[in-house]
Amino acid sequence: MNSMEEAILNIIEKRYKRKYTGGIKVTKLGTGWAGYKLVLDLGNPDKRLIQISADLEAEDFLKFIEQELISR
């Protein structure tokens, strides 16, 4: 698990007061992009994957993810 994944798990735990136990993967976007893509595997047949991408540096991406979780 990389540091971005750990940081996002901490955000999820802080927001929902629970540990996330599903699959998580954070990857850098392709060449020419500065951002990241987050994939959460919920293990639910109706909502299997959540994918969130943004062309933001690491710190701004984490803030963006936190705002996305608040709005969902």
Residue 8: what pLDDT?
96
Residue 20: what pLDDT?
92
For domain 3-71, give the fold.
Double Stranded RNA Binding Domain (3.30.160)
The structural domains of the chain, with segments of one domain joined by +, span 3-71
Residue 58: what pLDDT?
94
- Per residue of the chain (72 residues), give pLDDT as tens: 799 999 999 999 999 999 999 999 999 998 888 899 999 998 777 777 889 999 999 999 999 999 998 887
Residue 46: what pLDDT?
78
According to DSSP, residue 13 is labeled H
